[in-house]
Each structure stands twice: as structure tokens, then as C-alpha cells.
Amino acid sequence: MAEENKSSLEPLAALCKRRGFIYHSSEIYGGIPGFWDYGPLGSEFKRNVKDAWWQFTVRGREDVAGLDATIIMHPKIWKASGHLDTFADPMTMCKECKKLMRADQIKDIYEEQKKKPQPKIAGADFFCPYCGGELTEPKPFNLMFKTIVGPIEDPSNVAYLRPETAQAIFAQFTNVLSTSRQQVPFGIAQMGKSFRNEVTPRNYTFRSREFEQMELEFFIRPDEAIEILYGHVVTLADNPDLDGEVQQDWGWEVWHKYWVEQRKKFLNAVGLPSERFVEYWQKPDELAHYARACVDIEYDFPFGRQELEGIAARSDFDLSQHQKHSGEPQSVFDDPLKQAAKKMDEQARAAFIEKVQKDWVSRGKDAEEAKKFCEDLFNGRYIPHVIEPSAGVDRLMLALLCEAYEEQKLTDDKGKEDIRTVLHFSPKVAPIKVAVFPLIKKDEATYKIARELFNKLRKKVNCFWDESGQIGRRYRRQDEAGTPWCITVDPQTVEDGTFTVRDRDSMQQERLTYEQFLVKMTEALEF
Ligand code: ATP
């Protein structure tokens, strides 16, 4: 991390430690690189980010079902997915200082090191960026953590901690399909821990070895099935309305862009304005061989512009792989498709097959396979294609923290300058929604009302009680925690039931009744 960048992440990291958002894992033993713990405020914040994603992606829709699968799965899953053979980073080692590093990150490390006093740097990527020593040939290093299932340490008992949550969705596709009353197009969502033995975990929680993901696999009909059903396939060139209801005649390209837009809406809703991130459309030579498109949503972190999440159109690759490796059919039966195909005469079918073959061959695929695929379609069968929006919980939390953090220079009435540290979280993800203070601790009447109010509110949302110190100090403590509202109960509350509600961002106060405050809070928390 460059010196100036480091300094811009450092105050945030210090706040996160001081206020109980993020700690080094196993800190009393010196920590363990790439592992982080969330403290009292961090764990609430994380829960809110995940709940927001679940509400937006699963509960708020009729066409997505949830899944909560195990971390350790049958090792054949990782063979089928390609992770066993290809989920590797190129690793190199310095022959002098013995430091391990990712060969593809040497340039970045070199740039970072250049800004530090390093007289021995040789000045080229092929030398160690730390000491200028000679590097070994890069070797692929598989990122999956291995473990043994059962008591016998035998290669046949090797299993892996999942490096992504997505594969369980594919492995349980047929079960979810038959038990959820969903039909293609529909999605399956899952969130949970993933593990990657990253060669160089870096940039605070950005690249960790244990982290959480929130992934959706949205299954769609192949475009050829839509052609049979509707006689056309809607593409982006048709300017579809991506803000309205989803449409059955959308092709993969439209579904992909639709999910990019949905993800952007979600990021806006949890506190990242659109102007703070960019869509990076991967170029054809950057795409995985099976992928038809992939968009990275990138955020300007203090250490540079980096991927926040990705949305990939993965064709039918994953389910086809699992069908091949497990021997279990992964195709679906689509009755409307069969009925539509029945209406095609021999000539129309032959023309359709010819068209599909031409298209497949132009994309380097086999003509015979294309024919078989068309014949399956005529029988209402196909393996669904998939759009995959895949996000990291921790990475999003880091982006939200960076976005929310501000050191404000304030000048009071007497001209005295002061710095206010504030986290401008969206109320939807703020760890504490409301703090309740009795203005005067010793005043029995106000204290009692404040306590009753606190007890009522904490049944609804996470609240914080603070009765110590001046009110100004109490506000500042909540500003650092990102609490959107502070309620102060004072003698007037005893008379008319109203209390002051202080807004974190404007620092303005207004008097509200309990009912008025509930309306205000509920509106701000709703999606
Ligand atoms: P990167 O290129 O940054 O390693 P990736 O392209 O391998 O990421 P995916 O496999 O697509 O990432 O994972 C989806 C999402 O999971 C990422 O966009 C990111 O938000 C999150 N993620 C992946 N690896 C890590 C990690 N080591 N630490 C934290 N989050 C991660």
C-alpha cells in the first residue's frame, strides 16, 4: 500500500479498532495474516449488510429462493467446477529474502515499495520488489484450503473448504427446483463463508483468507428456447425497460444487464452513490472461456480502484459440468416450450436447426451438439443458462466504511475549532439505529421515561443507552459509531411527550412524539 494511501486508510482502521468494528484475528497471539474479527459494532454492521442483501435479493422478490449449504462438500464438486485444476495464482519466491508473492502483483508491490526508502531495489518487475533479489519461476498455487474428513489421514479423505458459495447452488439446483415451486427464469441465493488461501492477503479486509460472499445464480432459458416460444429474443438493442417488470422474452444479454442494474440499485440503497463506482466490462480476451459477459463493479478504495463485486453471464457451463461429473441430469422440462415447438412443422424445425448450428459453429462449438440441443428443445428440455451476481460481504463493508468516514472541521459559536469524526452510514446498515439519553441522569421523572422509551425501541431495532457525560460528548460517541439518530429525553418530555431527535449528518434537532419518530425511522429503514 502506498504511503499516502496507507495514511488515508489508517485513521479508518484506527477508528474500527477503537470503536469495536474490526480487530485482527487472534490478536493476543500476534494475529494471523488474512483473518479478521468483527467486534460489537462490526458484527451488527455485518448482519445489517447481509440482511439488506437478503431482503433485496430474496425476500423482496418472488423469483428467488434461498439456500444455506455446508462449507465442506463432496470433493468432486471442485473437480467439476474446475477449481481443483485451475483455481490457482502464480506464486514466486525471492531467492534472497525468501518472501513469497503473487507474480501478477509484483508490479503493484514494486510501485508501493518504490515510495519507501529501498536502496537495494533493482528497478524491474523480474526482481524482488522488497530487496532486489532474483525471483524463482512462477508456479501455480491452488488457493483452496485442504482438510481431512474423518479420522484417517488418507488422500481419499481429502476435502476442501469452499472457495465460493456458488457451487452448492448448482449442486442443489434440482432439489431446489423440485421443492420451491419455482420455474425458469428463477434464482437461488446463498450467503456465507468462503475460504481462499490467498498468497498475499492485502489492504486490510479487502483480500482476506476467510471471508463471506453473497451470491445469486439466476437461471434463465437459453436464447434458442425463447426464440421458439416467442418468435424473437429481446436484446439490449431493443431498449428494454430494465426498471419495470421482468419479461419472459428477454435474452441472456438483457438479463445480464438487468442484474447489473439491480446490483447498482442495491449499492445505492445501502449507501454507495452511483458516482462512486464504475462498471468495468471485461474484454473478450479477459473472459473465462464459458462466459459470455462479465461486469466488475469497481470502487475507488483509498488504495486504488478495485473490484467490489462481479456480475457474470456464465452460459450453461456450471450445470453442464455437474451433469457430466455426477451423471445426474441437470436439465429442466419446460412444458410451454414443448407446446410451442409442437406448432413448428418439419421445415421450420430444419431451418431452426440450421440457424442454431451456424451460430454455434461461429462460436467454435460443435454442429452435431447443436443439433442434439435443438432436438432436446423441441422436447421441452434444456440445461438452464445462468447469470451470477457475486459479492463479498467484507469487501462491501470496507467500501461502505470508506464511503461513510469523514473527519469534519467544525467551528463553534466562540470560534473554537474542533474535528468531528463521523460515519455517515445509511440507516439501513448502521449498527446502532438510535441512541437514547436522559438529559439529566439524576432527574427521576425524565430518567424513567427515557428508560421506558429505550426498552420500547430496542424491541424493534438495535438501540444504545448512554447516560454518562455531557450531551455533546454523547453525540460525538454516536457519530463515530454511525448512529443516525440520538434521542434526548428532557423535562419537556414529562409535560408533552415529545423528545429531541438529533440527526447525525445535519446535527439539527427536532421535537417529535414516539409515533412521529417511529414513522420517520421505519421509512428510512425500508427498502
Ligand atoms: P479478485 O480478483 O479480487 O481475487 P475474484 O474475481 O477472484 O476477486 P470472485 O471469485 O468473482 O472474485 O468472487 C466474488 C466476490 O467475492 C468478489 O467480487 C469479492 O467481493 C469477494 N472476494 C473474492 N475474494 C475475496 C477475498 N480474498 N477477500 C474478500 N473478498 C473476496
Q: Other CB atoms closer than 10 Å to residue 355's CB: what's the count?
A: 14
Using pLDDT thresholds of 50, 70 and 90, give the confidence band for residue 123: very low
Task: Look at residue 2 and tell me whether its pLDDT is greater than 50.
Answer: no
| Mean pLDDT computed over every residue of the chain | 94
Q: Is the pLDDT of residue 207 over 70?
A: yes
**Ligand 1, atom 26: closest residue by C-alpha:** 207
Please give the DSSP secondary-structure letter assigned to residue 304: E
Strand order of the β-sheet with 509-512 is 463-465, 434-438, 485-489, 499-503, 509-512
The pLDDT assigned to 118 comes to 52
Say if residue 185 is preceded by a cis peptide, omega within 30 of 0: yes
Give the tens place of pLDDT for each residue, 333-362: 999 999 999 999 999 999 999 999 999 999
Q: What is the pLDDT of residues 26-64, one digit of tens each?
A: 999 999 999 999 999 999 999 999 999 999 999 999 999
- Does the pLDDT value for residue 161 go beyond 90? yes
pLDDT confidence bin for 102, thresholds 50/70/90: confident
pLDDT for res 254? 98
- The structural domains of the chain, ordered by start, are 1-72+163-334+384-405 (3.30.930.10), 432-525 (3.40.50.800)
The pTM of this model reads 0.93
Owner of C-alpha cell 468432486: 76
CA of 306 to the centre of ligand 1 (A): 10
**What pLDDT, on a 0 to 100 scale, did the predictor assign at position 116?**
63
Ligand 1 centroid, distance to 300 Cα (angstroms): 16
In this predicted structure, the answer to whether residue 122 has a pLDDT above a threshold of 70 is no
Distance in Å, CA 407 to ligand 1 centroid? 30
Pocket, ligand 1, Cβ cutoff 6 A: 164, 196, 198, 207-208, 211, 213, 307, 309-310, 390-392, 394-395
Q: Is residue 128 very low, low, confident or very high in pLDDT (cuts 50, 70, 90)?
A: confident
Q: How far is the CA of 299 from the centre of ligand 1 (A)?
A: 13
Cα–Cα distance for residue pair 397/44, rounded to 1 Å? 11
The residue nearest atom 31 of ligand 1, judged by CA position, is: 392
Mean pLDDT for 235-239 is 98
pLDDT band at 114 (very low <50, low <70, confident <90, very high): low
pLDDT at 208: 97
pLDDT of 111 reads: 73
Q: Would you say residue 121 has pLDDT above 50?
A: no
Residues 6 or more apart whose CB falls under 8 angstroms from that of 220 comprise 184, 185, 250, 252, 255, 384, 385, 386, 387
Burial of 13 (0-12, 13-18, 19+ CB in 10 A): middle
Q: Ligand 1: which atom is nearest the Cα of residue 213?
A: 16
Residue 365 Cα distances to 235, 288, 304, 371, angstroms: 22, 15, 39, 11
Alpha-carbon Rg for the chain in angstroms: 27
Ligand 1 centroid, distance to 312 Cα (angstroms): 13
58 Cα to the center of ligand 1, angstroms:
21
Query: Which residue's alpha carbon is at the smallest distance from atom 18 of ligand 1?
Result: 309
Stretch 469-497: mean pLDDT, rounded?
97
Q: What is the 3-state secondary structure (H, E, C) of 156-212?
A: HHEEEECCCCHHHHHHCHHHHHHHCCCCCCEEEEEEEEEECCCCCCCCCCCCCCEEE
* Band (25; pLDDT cuts 50, 70, 90): very high
129, pLDDT greater than 90: no
- Of 200, 209, 386, 390, which is best to mutate to test ligand 1, by the most ligand atoms within 8 angstroms of its C-beta? 390
Probe target for ligand 1 pocket from 213, 280, 297, with the most ligand atoms within 8 Å of CB: 213
Interval between CA 103 and ligand 1 midpoint (Å): 18
Find the distance separating the first CA and the last CA of the chain, reported in whole Å: 36
Atom 4 in ligand 1: residue holding the nearest Cα: 207
pLDDT score at 6: 43
**Do the beta carbons of residue 435 and residue 489 sit within 8 Å?**
no
Q: Please state the atom number of ligand 1 nearest to the C-alpha of residue 390.
A: 14
- Nearest ligand 1 atom to the CA of 207 is 28
**Of all protein residues, whose CA lies closest to atom 25 belonging to ligand 1?**
207
**d(CA 164, ligand 1 centre) in Å:** 9
pLDDT, tens digit (0-9, with 9 covering 90-100), for 310-338: 999 999 999 999 999 999 999 999 999 99
State the CB neighbour count (10 A cutoff) for residue 293: 18
Handedness of CA 498, 429, 58, 171 (dihedral sign): negative
Name the pLDDT band for 105 (thresholds 50, 70, 90): confident
- CB distance 186 to 65 below 8 Å: yes
How many CA atoms does the CB half-sphere of 382 hold within 13 Å?
31
pLDDT tens-digit profile of 407-455?
999 998 888 999 999 999 999 999 999 999 999 988 999 999 999 999 9
Q: Ligand 1 test: best mutation among 142, 204, 207, most atoms within 8 Å of CB?
A: 207
Q: Write out the three cell numbers for 386.
A: 445462468
Q: Per the structure block, which three cell numbers stand in for 513?
A: 412524539
Report d(CA 351, CA 360) in Å as an integer.
14
For residue 501, give every residue at least 6 positions away whose Cβ sits within 8 Å of its Cβ, in sequence order, or none. Answer: 485, 486, 487, 509, 510, 511, 512, 517, 520
Q: Phi/psi of residue 297, each to 5°?
A: -95, 120
